[in-house]
Structure 1
Amino acid sequence: MKWLPESLRALRRDVFFLVLLAVLVLLAIAKPARIPDWPSLVDWPTIAALAGLLLLTKAVETSGALHVAGHWLIERTSTRRIAALGLVAATALLSMLLTNDVSLFVMVPLTLSMCRIARMPATRLVVFEALAVNAGSMLTPIGNPQNLFLWQQWNNGFGAFVWAMLPLVAIALVLLLAVTALAFPGTALQVHEENEQGVDRSLLIVAAVLYVPFLFLADFHHAEWGLLGVLAVFLVFRRRIIASIDWGLLLTFVLMFIDLRMLAGLDSVKQFLGGLGLDQPSHLYATGALASQVVSNVPAAILLAEYSKDWRTIAWGVNAGGFGFVLGSLANLIALRLLGERKAWATFHLWSLPFFLVIGLIGWALL
């Protein structure tokens, strides 16, 4: 087993992965005829885009550029509270323009580098960045996968989508920034690591040059070709980058797609949804928010689109459902895996579950 990457060997101790694997085994026993359909249940473009982003961000991290950027930011930030507010606001803004997962791949490694330099705990800060991408990405149709699906499904305009989401997003962001200001102390930041780390300029340039065309290909639904190109470059240029990415995260996502789509497609689930009175906006909203806690918000949006044409209510429900349990949004899982701390799961739910309840009730009242 030593020849396997460390991230794959660590799956033996990953409780979430083991639960997904156990569910897969139960589904295989219950519906063995569906096993040949499993590959078609996986959203391979998403997996390809995730793999490419893992490679590129690992290259940037290995180059040492984030270490230098962390020093620069700390020297210009006076307190932990101001640093947290700036990072959370920047993460939310990026998620509106670059999608929630890309925002995390940019901000979390930078945050971890800053925290190492200043010797301050990173867990709570990354948790708040996960909340920030869920709040910010709600606004635009390109902010997250569920919005993109709903936008394309009903062919509504970009501006109309933003206008429809604005009330809930504005409240979520104001609340998030207020809680951030209370959750982080006003203690001064200090650089404890004086030794400057050099930057591997060639590695940084290669990653930067590959980044834009990769995002362009992923945006035009050619993520697989983009991934092949990135893999080819690093196989020749820096093979160790490929071995060092989180392959366990990719495998976990594959299992999630299979498990969640199998569960969403069960007749009992469809019959249950059919009896919930989804023609009423309040029922549709609550179902979207609560279903996201079980099957994640992207499958929940796809499923509810079969029962209602009220895209605004569906969008509000499944986006509010991105908060709460870690399964509510795939971005939550990405943030926690990038952080790499087991205890972070408890911290995440300590903040995310109350946020889900408050935003969920506010959204329900605004309807």
Structure 2
Amino acid sequence: MVTLFKPFLHDRFLHLMVILGIVLAIFAPFRLTELPGAVDWHTLITLCGLLILTKGIELSGYFEVLGRRVIEYFQHQRALALALVAGAALLSTFLTNDVALFIVVPLTLTLRKFSSLPVSRLIIFEALAVNAGSLLTPIGNPQNILLWGHSDLSFFGFIWQMLPLASALMVCLLALTWFCFPDHIIQRHAPEEAQGWQRRLLWLSVLLYLLFIAALECRFAGWALIVVIAAYLLMARQVLLRIDWSLLTVFIAMFIDVFLLTRLPGVHAGMTQAAHWSDGARYLAAIGLSQVISNVPATILLLPFMPASQLFAWAVNIGGFGLLPGSLANLIALRMAKERRIWWQFHLFSLPMLLIALVLGWLIYLTLRAA
């Protein structure tokens, strides 16, 4: 039980979200019965399932096996960083940004055991990569799913709409990766005796992973989560005890805080004026609001007042860069890293990327509109 509850006591970000919620509750009119509806339970169920399944694969020991092979294949830091960043971006286009992180980040963490790589910086760039890569497709992230559903575009029509921005941002991100990771030979640690890995736990986790992804597509996520939990209770109970359950509580607190924020007097009235804003004002508003409440809630809040246009789609995806709350994927990646310094180091790269994306997005939009 100590293992289960210890993260809640040391989670400063969770404590901050709870305090913020209490302050907002003082000024925002609401009923307690409205709070459960403020939480996106589908997102919570999805995140919970992925946390459990990834932990199962991690505890099987297979990430260490894979990490050894990666270190043996790549000789230079820059080549490895470019491969991981490009791989994270590619995975995020069809597996969604959070799923891509649950695959790439645990693998990256195992590299620390075999080499002196700057693992924290790699994870930061992987978080930036999934934000850039996932914006390309209508299934890459939750905000795109929402926008696609409110538009008249086909699947490939949406991709064509997002392609100019996605291409430009990936070129910039890969260039930034090139400059931030030196072409030094990877310094490997003295080889350790290879530890055995649990094939039974690995295959159980992979099978459940495929089942869970299929269930998500068929909208049976809740039932699939019950199956996943029951399977681990029967066959690998230690997996459930090692989950970062406080992360799920952080997400619940964030959803409630956003709900209370939207109930503040004057906020809703201000949103109704969005229909009369210029393109530039809408662009900056969507990016700015994403920095404060994350791009998915920002999309939900603004969608009734703004058309699901190309500019709006670009803006909320650009809003995933910058400050930590810009994208929930940022929080997932940094939490998995389990390192204090990474929280401020993230902004050294994410804020410049936000500025680059903001300027590039607007210039490309003006160019396309003038053509």
Task: Give the TM-score normalised by the residue count of structure 2.
Answer: 0.94
Query: Hey, what does 2:198 align to over in structure 1?
Result: 200
Query: Hey, what does 1:117 align to over in structure 2?
Result: 114
Q: Deviations over 1:32-81 (max 9, x none)?
A: 64222111111111111111101111010111100000000110101111
Quote the Cα distance in structure 1 between the aligned partners of 2:28 and 2:361.
38
Quote the Cα distance in structure 2 between the aligned partners of 1:205 and 1:180.
34
- Among candidates 310, 313, 317, match of residue 312 of structure 1: 310
276-285 or 177-186: bigger deviation = 276-285
Q: Deviation at 1:269?
A: 1.5
Query: Hey, what does 2:31 align to over in structure 1?
Result: 34
Q: Deviations over 1:327-363 (max 9, x none)?
A: 0000000000010111101110111011101111111
Query: Hey, what does 2:258 align to over in structure 1?
Result: 260
Please give the secondary structure, in 1, of the residue aligned with 2:93: helix
Query: Hey, what does 2:331 align to over in structure 1?
Result: 333
* Distance of aligned partners of 1:198 and 1:32 in 2 relative to their CA distance in 1, 3 Å threshold: same
Q: Is the 8 A contact 2:212 2:224 kept in 1?
A: yes
Query: Hey, what does 1:151 align to over in structure 2?
Result: 148
Identity %: 44
Which residue identity lines up with residue 37 of structure 1 in the other structure?
E
Query: Hey, what does 2:368 align to over in structure 1?
Result: none
2:186 is equivalent to residue 189 of structure 1: yes
Please give the secondary structure, in 2, of the residue aligned with 1:154: coil
Q: Is the 8 A contact 2:35 2:256 kept in 1?
A: yes
Q: How many residues align?
A: 364
Query: Hey, what does 2:369 align to over in structure 1?
Result: none
Q: Is the 8 A contact 1:294 1:327 kept in 2?
A: yes
- Among candidates 9, 14, 17, match of residue 14 of structure 2: 17
Quote the Cα distance in structure 1 between the aligned partners of 2:234 and 2:227.
11
Quote the Cα distance in structure 2 between the aligned partners of 1:334 and 1:80.
24
* Distance of aligned partners of 1:61 and 1:164 in 2 relative to their CA distance in 1, 3 Å threshold: same
Q: Is the 8 A contact 1:88 1:132 kept in 2?
A: yes
Which residue identity lines up with residue 119 of structure 2 in the other structure?
A
Alignment of 1:1-367 (within 5 A): 3-6=1-4, 8-31=5-28, 33-192=30-189, 193-275=191-273, 279-367=277-365
Quote the Cα distance in structure 2 between the aligned partners of 1:262 and 1:155.
32
Runs of at least 4 residues of structure 1 off by over 4 A? Answer: 276-279
Q: Is the 8 A contact 1:78 1:189 kept in 2?
A: yes
Quote the Cα distance in structure 2 between the aligned partners of 1:19 and 1:207.
34
Which residue identity lines up with residue 3 of structure 2 in the other structure?
P
Quote the Cα distance in structure 2 between the aligned partners of 1:38 and 1:251.
14
Query: Cα RMSD (Å) of the superposition?
Result: 1.5
Quote the Cα distance in structure 2 between the aligned partners of 1:40 and 1:98.
27
Q: Deviation at 1:155?
A: 4.2
Please give the secondary structure, in 1, of the residue aligned with 2:66: helix
Quote the Cα distance in structure 1 between the aligned partners of 2:207 and 2:142.
25
- Structure 2 alignment gaps of length 5 or more: 366-371
Which residue identity lines up with residue 225 of structure 2 in the other structure?
L
Q: Deviation at 1:31?
A: 4.0
Which residue identity lines up with residue 341 of structure 2 in the other structure?
K
Quote the Cα distance in structure 1 between the aligned partners of 2:312 and 2:136.
14
Which residue identity lines up with residue 167 of structure 1 in the other structure?
P
113-122 or 311-320: bigger deviation = 113-122
Q: Is the 8 A contact 1:305 1:311 kept in 2?
A: no
